Amino acid sequence: GAGVSQTPSNKVTEKGKYVELRCDPISGHTALYWYRQSLGQGPEFLIYFQGTGAADDSGLPNDRFFAVRPEGSVSTLKIQRTERGDSAVYLCASSQGLAGSSYNEQFFGPGTRLTVL
């Protein structure tokens, strides 16, 4: 089946603009994650959804960042008043979210490369 998909693959915007990044998880996966990967760094956690609700948003850097998952499937990461420091690859991952499992593997999408000029 299809993996996690993310659109757009690349986004170039100007400082101060608003951007939306979209993630389509694997069908049936209830858990969805957003990570941010800056150049030369590993992915850093932003937010995790279980179904429609944000179960952990402790990684969002400030209130310019917001994410939604209104129907428990597709998620949108929204960044207001973008800054040059927001430039990074934004990764989405999904997992089955099974409560009784010791670990539910996170499957990653290809990422959206955001460049803020």
For binding to other proteins (CB under 8 A), which residues are involved?
A: 3-4, 31, 33, 35, 40-45, 48, 50, 55-56, 59, 91, 93, 95, 97-99, 101-111
Pick between residue 39 and residue 71 the one whose CB is nearest to other proteins: 39
Minimum CB separation of residue 68 from other proteins in Å reads 18
Task: Please report how many Cα atoms fall inside a 13 Å half-sphere around the Cα of residue 14, on the Cβ side.
Answer: 0
**Residues 67 and 19 sit within 8 Å (Cβ to Cβ):** no
Shortest distance in whole angstroms from residue 108 CB to other proteins: 4
How many Å apart are CA 112 and CA 92, to the nearest integer? 9
Whether residue 7 contacts residue 93, with contact meaning beta carbons closer than 8 Å, is answered with no
Which distant-in-sequence residues (6+ apart) come within 8 Å of 103 by Cβ? Answer: none
Question: Least distance to other proteins from the beta carbon of 23, Å?
Answer: 12
Nearer to other proteins, 40 or 70 (CB): 40
